[in-house]
Copies of this chain bind each other. A is one copy, B any other.
Amino acid sequence: MNSTPNTFPRIQLELPQWITDFLQQQPTTFPTLETRMDFVTTLSKLNIEQGTGGPFGASVFRADTHQLIAPGVNLVLLSKNSLAHAEVMAIMLAQQILGDHDLGAAGLPPQELVTSCEPCAMCLGAICWSGVRHLVCGARGSDAETIGFDEGPKPQNWTAHLEERGISVTLDIGRPNATQVLRNYVEQGGEVYNSRQGPIETPG
């Protein structure tokens, strides 16, 4: 790359085929918090087994009918994209499917994001801008940190920041099961990729 390119590539992100296959065996609505959490935790587990990414699953559901709108799994390594966290995939996909950058826009039913693990700093911000009205989490951020993942620069009172913006937060749904998936990932030698570490370099 010694000159300015004539064009820039298109960024493309796609769910792996196994998700579509898996969904054929699943119901289309998930009436209880526990069944929705069980679904996203199963996604996180299958994502490891299928070798498509880290131990995180999430989905956007319609908050009134509990219909699955968009699933997501962590695809950072596969897609060579550090943004491709499970929550980000589910949010982007739901926005594309519903045709709006704001999942809380007038005319759309309210939406809920269910995630197998509390959001990192980036996903916390992404949730604020997504338009979802409800957030449901399985494992705690501290559970992810215990196995070596960095949660990033997140305020202590992060749930209050969401609630201030009209987003309800429900924690610890199916936490033991969701945490076990994280532990299994590390025990099986899964890669814990994180932010850069080390000394600050002098700017050039």
Contact = CB atoms under 8 A, between A and B. Distances in A.
Interface residues of A, number: 93
Interface string A48-74: 000000000000000111111111000
Contacts of A197: 165-166
B201 A92 contact: no
A26 interface: yes
Report copies per complex. Answer: 2
A4 B26 contact: yes
A96 interface: yes
Interface of A: 1-15, 19-20, 23-24, 26, 28, 33, 63-71, 76-77, 79-84, 88-89, 91-93, 95-97, 99-102, 104, 110, 112, 120-126, 128-131, 133-134, 150, 152-155, 158, 161-163, 165-168, 170, 193-204
